[in-house]
Each structure stands twice: as C-alpha cells, then as structure tokens.
Amino acid sequence: MKHYIKGTYRKSIFQSSQGYVIGIFKVRETDDESLKDYINKTITFTGYFHELTEEEHYIFYGEGVDHPKYGFQFQVSGYEKVKPEDKDGVIAFLSSDLFPGIGEKQATLIVETLGEKALDKILEDASCLSLVPKLSSKKAKKVYDTLVKYEESHKTIVYLTELGFSMKDALHIYNTYKSFTIETLEHNIYRVMNEVDDISFLKLDAIALSQGMEKEDERRVKAGILYTIQSLTFQTGNTYFSKQELYQETCKNLKQPLEENLFTSQFQELIDEEEIVEEEDRYYEKEMYQCEVEVADQIQFLCHLPQIKYKKMKKVLEEYEQSCGVVYNEKQKEAIIQALTNHCSIITGGPGTGKTTIVKALIELYQKLNNLNYDQLMEELRLLAPTGRASKRMSETTLLPASTIHRFLKWNKETNEFGINAYHKDDGKLIIVDEVSMIDLPLLHSLLDGLKKQIQIVFVGDYNQLPSVGPGQVLRDFIESETIPMVELDLLYRQDENSYIPTLAQEIKNNALSENYLKEKSDYTFLKCHSESIRNNLKTICKQILEKGYTDKQVQVMAPMYRGMNGIDQLNKELQEVFNPKDPSKREFHYGDVIYREHDKVLQLVNMPDENVFNGDIGTIERILYENESPNKKKEIYIDYDGMLVKYEPKDFSSVKHAFVITIHKSQGSEFPIVIMPLCMSYHRMLYRKLIYTGITRAKKKLILLGEPQAFLESVHNSQEQIRKTTLKERLNMKK
C-alpha cells in the first residue's frame, strides 16, 4: 500500500544524470503508522525526480523498505511540491536559488505587500507585483515566469505518474516536451514511442487503453504497425517484410483482428510520411532502408576507385617473407596484395587458415610501402572489432592498439549517439575490421558514416559463423554480391599431426563429417553420455581440468539454451561450486535467485563505453562491498576485466551474468584455450550447423564435446538456419 511523508528535503547523497536521487528528508507528517517515530526526524529516501530544491517542502508518495545495512528507507514512486504556508517559509522560498536576483530583502517586501498567500496571488494575477516597492517590472516578470514554470513542471510530473508512468519515464517525457507535455500526450500518446528513449509501445498502449482509447482508434493502429515493423526487424534480423506479414503481426501485437481497410489506410499513411519505405512488394522501416542504400553506395564508391599502385610490391613482399622466415602460398599473397591495392576488400576463411598472419603482414607491408614510422602508422591505421575480447585478441596478435567499433565511434550511452559521425569524421586511412560476421547493418552504416570517403577498408571474417544478433547479414551479402574483391583462405596451418579442431571445422562447414569425430585426438575429445548424465560428467571434467593446473579463465563451457536441466542457468549454478565454491573468506550476495561471490567469472551483457566494457566481455568479481562499507551506502561489486577494475552499483547488477557457461552467440569474437560443449537432444530446436561450427572454432588448444552423438550429427546436417531477408546484395549488384 502506498503512503506519504510530508516534510522538507534536506540534501542529496547521490544524484544520477537520469534523475535518480538518494537523499535525506525531514518528516513533518505521515499517514504510515510505521513511520510515526520519524516525525521531526530525518529519513533516507530514493527515487526519480525532476528537480529538488534544498529546504523546500514536498509530499513523497511511496513505501518504507527495511534494509539491514541502510536502515529504514522510503522508496518514492511519486511526489509533489508543497508551497510554503507561513510568512517565513514564503520569504525563504522566494529568496532561494530558484528566483535569481531576488534576495531576502525583496522577498520580505513581496510578502509584506501581498501577505502570506503571495504565491497564489501572483499566479492569479501577475500585475499585483507592481504594488511591491523597489521591484522592477523585469524582476516582477522573472518572478512570475519562474513561479508558473515551477507549478507547471510539477503538475505535469504528477499528471504523468497518475497516468501510470514511472517517475523515471515521467521525467524523460517531461524533459522532451516541457510545457507541451500534456497537450502532446492528449493529442497522441503514441508519439512518445519514437521521440523518448526506452518507452515502449506496449507500455504506452496499456496506458492509452486504460484512459479510454478505442481499440480501433487510427492513432493506435498506426502506432501498432510502426511498432511491429521495428520490433520484427530486430527479432528476425530481416530488413524488409511483406504487407501480409506486417498485417498478421500487427493483429497479434494489438491482440485483436483488424479490418483490412483500417490497416491499409494507416499503413499507407506511414508510407506517405516515409516512416515505412515501399519498394515493389517489400516494406522497410525507414532507418533500415536508409542503412542498406547508403552502405551499398559507400561500398560501391570504394570499389570503383582506381587501384593503388605500389612500385616493387612483389619484391617488398619477397623481402618481408625472407626477413620473417615464412613462405606464403598463392592465396595468401593474393589476399595481402588485394588488401593493399584495393580501397575495399574481404579476407575470409575458417580457423587455422592464417587470417591473423595475413592481417599482420599487410599492416607491416603498408608501413614499409608508404615509408611510415610508428607514429605515422598510428595516425593512419585503425584496427576494429565488434566486441571487447575480439579487439583485445586483435591487439595481442598484431602488437598494435585495437578498439571496439562502439568505442572508436565514441558512443554515448546516455544519448545513444556516436561522437564520430557524418559531421565529425575520423582521419584514419587504412581500416581493418575483424569478425565482420558479427556486425549488423546499422553498426556498419554508422562506421562507414564516420569514415572519410577515400579510405582503404579490409573486412576480415568467417562467413560460416553465426550472423549478427542485430538486423542484416553483412558479410554474407558482401560475399554473395561478388562486388568486393575477396580471397578465401582454405589451407589449414594451425595444426599438427594429431590435432583435429581445424579439420573438424572444415568437415562441418562442408557437411562432410568423417568417422573421426568420435576418435580421441591431442586437441579433441568426444565423451558419449546420456543427457541425464551431462551435468555430473561436466563437473567431473572441470574438476580434472583444475587438477591439471588450468583456471576457469582458460576453460569455457558453451551451450545453446538458458532453460532446462542442461540449460545455461542450471549449469552455471553447478559449475560455480566447482570453480568457485563457497568459502568463509569469500564475500557473496543474493541477486534474485542467483548467488554471486568474490572470484566468480561473469559476463557483461550491455555496452558500457565510459568504462571501456562491452557486451560479451568476461571478467572476475574481485571485491564485494556491503552497504555499511560503501561511501554511498550501497552494495558495490568490483569486476576485473584483464587488469581493469570496474565498479558496479545495484542499478548495474542486471548487466552481468555468471560466465562459467555462456551461449555460443556470446562466445563470438572470442577464443579460449579449452572449450567444452554439452550436446543433447533437448537442445534440438537450437542445433544447426553454423551454431556448432561457431562453437568449435572458439577452441584454441582443446575441444571437448560431451553428450549424445545423435544431437551432434543432427546439428551438423541441419543447414536450415533462417536465411535473412535483405536486399544489400541486390543493391550492390545493381550498382556494378
């Protein structure tokens, strides 16, 4: 049950840029019996606020929560300002920082002239301020305007929370529309969906319906169509849809059958307003259409630039081979020369085919051919990858700085915008992008947007791996268009007589699995067992690995699903007790139904560019601070990412998850000395060739498959992955 406390805001302990405040409040009045002892005392409160002014009076609505470490805390779900009701209060209010230029003397004159109800009188008739001695018309107008704004903002916030918006959402909406907030929402509440971040159609729709919106209101149908095409784009990875698909999905999202005429009329309005783009019988969300067109244009532009000529290139390459003691095969030489002479090129190949070696060689040759010293090279070269671990691996292999694409583009989490963009371009000349299969269409568009026109860009990746999580299938479309010069490396180098991982990868890729997949190799084991035995066998294997001197950082278990007895969530709980068992010396805490303790391996789930931590990064909980030990009186965890310590507060805890077991999707861009993959028929919906291929190619030294051979065979022979509907390939071909 919601209660209230009435009193005075004293100060804040913590305040975020999003409006989240932890502060101190002096209670004067309350309807909550459990809070009666706090009358005339201070209490800690938390919540989202538009603005708070020290020593001003407020009513906070919410409930008390008993924290053993914090003490009693009032969680605020709504609030309103209370205008001061006595002479001294009104004088203090008018002389506060809220009214610049009005000191205590002038505030006193206002109150002595207009009385204790001065604020109400000013709001009713601003001309009454002309009666106040020594108050200029300019200052009088400022007092009135400030008071109106003060009243308006808080009435609007209260209005929004009463509609059903959280305080956080109410703040976002008010900061977007200001004085036009109520008018905007009354005209069309669904505008908020595309104009305010993190407020979904579903939330808006629930509020609209609760306020009497008709289910077949044109505004609702139109917003439902737009929500459908936007959500489908990211759910499916497709960049376009048929009209019938969108009609059926819109009916599902609106939870009602729609008259086709009503759907068609609103659909056409969205086309006329260019929110949806029509192209033959294909329909695109406008941003996806723009991405496809502009990426195709930029790639075509690069492909049509004259080749770069270098004198004595072959001789320089031969000298480089001699100095390094290597001999490149013809395809490797072709890949190097192609990357150096073309403005846009692709190097693709599976594990062990030498992609990394070739990248290192082309960088060194670029430096030699252009006669660059190290500093000059760093001015021109950009090494990029979609994940933190992939960029780190790139840096380790080239011995040069590498970056995630998000960090390179200076992504701002608060605004969801890039600092490097079409208006502020980077000066790089040679751009090498690794793990391109992971890059979605919008990110590639942003990258190309932030680069100058006449660059050299080399795309490196394995097109047999999983496509990006986001929309598009960039690398596949690039290769199938046959527009971009490409070399596929197919000879295996990273193996000895008894190794098998690269060979297995090729066999899976070619759907030509030999009988060797059950035979023990120096780098490969298939341990057959029933699905019911997977967990126990997995724990045994991991214990044996630890006994051999390996750590949890060197071994990665990967599975395709979160739920079930062999799902990721359950396996993480089991393996926590193997890799990091309970110990009195290790601090721990509960978050939901999960226990986190010091030395746990964890996975980052969202990008945190300010901290240089990105989705897919794996770290270790280094330290846990309890509430009474933290300066902010909040629980804190410190996670170590390869020597970089990052602090997490409670609001951040949902952005990490245990990483003893991770999804194969999350493993992309990473390599691990030892990879273990449980396989069972209960995974069958998720088992297909590209998934298994991606998983096994993460292993550098040892691959252990554990479970049912039938599940493995079915996945290898299952090529029925969902081919995404895109038109990037066609656009590239159109422009040849």
Q: What is the pLDDT of residues 112-130, one digit of tens each?
A: 999 888 888 998 999 999 9
The letter for the amino acid at 312 is K
Q: Are strands 57-67 and 3-15 parallel, antiparallel or unpaired?
A: antiparallel
Q: What is the DSSP string of 376-408?
A: HHHHHEEEEESSHHHHHHHHHHHTS--EEHHHH
Contact call for residues 585 and 599 (beta carbons, < 8 A)? no
Residue 263 tokens read as 């759907």
User: If you average pLDDT over residues 584-604, what whole number do you get?
Assistant: 92
Average pLDDT for the chain = 90
Question: For residue 33, is pLDDT > 60?
Answer: yes
**Separation between Cα atoms, residue 562 and residue 434, nearest integer Å:** 28
pLDDT above 90: percentage of residues in the chain: 58
CA distances from 122 to 178, 422, 647 (A): 22, 49, 49
pLDDT of residue 425: 97
Per-residue confidence band for 493, with pLDDT thresholds at 50, 70 and 90? low
Nearest to 614 by CA among 648, 641, 591, 643: 641
Q: Dmax of the chain from CA atoms?
A: 100
Question: For residue 69, is pLDDT > 70?
Answer: no
pLDDT of residue 296: 97
* Burial (Cβ within 10 Å: 0-12, 13-18, ≥19) of residue 447: buried
CA trace torsion 316, 318, 321, 325 (10° rounding): -130
What letter does residue 630 receive in the DSSP assignment? S
Most confident option among 11-15, 255-259, 591-595: 255-259
**Separation between Cα atoms, residue 20 and residue 52, nearest integer Å:** 11
How many other CB atoms sit within 10 Å of the CB of residue 339? 28
Per-residue confidence band for 70, with pLDDT thresholds at 50, 70 and 90? low
What pairs with residue 403 in β-bridges?
A: 384
pLDDT of residue 498: 63
Range scoring the smallest mean pLDDT among 13-17, 54-58, 158-162: 13-17
**Separation between Cα atoms, residue 432 and residue 430, nearest integer Å:** 7
Q: What is the pLDDT of residues 376-419, one digit of tens each?
A: 999 999 999 998 888 888 999 999 999 999 999 998 877 778 99
User: What residue has token string 């090129």?
Assistant: 345
Range scoring the smallest mean pLDDT among 229-238, 300-309, 365-374, 407-416: 407-416
**Separation between Cα atoms, residue 618 and residue 388, nearest integer Å:** 9
Nearest to 534 by CA among 680, 685, 710, 704: 680
Q: What is the DSSP string of 463-527?
A: TTS---SSS--HHHHHHHHT-S-EEEE----S--TT--HHHHHHHHHTT---GGGGS-BTTEEEE
Most confident option among 43-57, 155-169, 202-216, 633-647: 202-216
pLDDT of residue 87: 84
User: If you average pLDDT over residues 70-78, what whole number do you get?
Assistant: 77
Nearest to 227 by CA among 253, 245, 199: 253
What pairs with residue 271 in β-bridges?
A: none
Question: For residue 635, is pLDDT > 70?
Answer: yes
What pairs with residue 375 in β-bridges?
A: none
User: What residue has token string 């610049």?
Assistant: 100
User: If you average pLDDT over residues 441-466, what whole number do you get?
Assistant: 95
pLDDT of residue 11: 86
Residue 361 tokens read as 């060689």
Range scoring the smallest mean pLDDT among 40-44, 297-301, 381-385, 482-486: 40-44
- Calculate ∠ Cα 215-219-224, nearest 5°: 70
Contact call for residues 227 and 211 (beta carbons, < 8 A)? no
Question: For residue 623, is pLDDT > 90?
Answer: yes
What pairs with residue 12 in β-bridges?
A: 23
**Separation between Cα atoms, residue 596 and residue 591, nearest integer Å:** 7
pLDDT of residue 156: 85
Residue 155 tokens read as 């009435």
Residue 702 tokens read as 């040892």
For residue 10, which phi and psi values (nearest 5 degrees)? -95, -55
What pairs with residue 657 in β-bridges?
A: 603
pLDDT of residue 496: 57
Question: For residue 483, is pLDDT > 60?
Answer: yes
Q: What is the pLDDT of residues 674-702, one digit of tens each?
A: 999 999 998 877 788 989 999 999 998 99
Per-residue confidence band for 101, with pLDDT thresholds at 50, 70 and 90? confident
pLDDT of residue 392: 86
Per-residue confidence band for 553, with pLDDT thresholds at 50, 70 and 90? very high
Question: For residue 146, is pLDDT > 90?
Answer: no
**Separation between Cα atoms, residue 299 and residue 431, nearest integer Å:** 13
pLDDT of residue 481: 95
Q: What is the pLDDT of residues 705-736, one digit of tens each?
A: 999 999 999 999 887 767 899 999 999 998 65
CA distances from 250 to 1, 239, 270 (A): 37, 17, 14
pLDDT of residue 71: 62
* 158-161 contacts at long range (C-beta below 8 A, 24 or more positions apart): 158/78, 158/79, 158/80, 160/185, 161/77, 161/78
User: If you average pLDDT over residues 590-614, what whole number do you get?
Assistant: 87
Residue 142 tokens read as 């400022």
Contact call for residues 90 and 119 (beta carbons, < 8 A)? yes
User: If you average pLDDT over residues 141-166, what whole number do you get?
Assistant: 83
Range scoring the smallest mean pLDDT among 366-375, 425-434, 446-455, 635-644: 635-644
Range scoring the smallest mean pLDDT among 50-64, 130-144, 263-277, 653-667: 50-64
User: If you average pLDDT over residues 244-259, what whole number do you get?
Assistant: 96
Per-residue confidence band for 88, with pLDDT thresholds at 50, 70 and 90? confident
CA distances from 659 to 87, 562, 569, 573, 662 (A): 61, 12, 10, 10, 6
**Separation between Cα atoms, residue 652 and residue 402, nearest integer Å:** 26
User: What residue has token string 């002595």?
Assistant: 112
Q: Name every residue whose Cβ is closer than 8 Å to that of residue 209 and which is 6 or more positions away in sequence.
A: 215
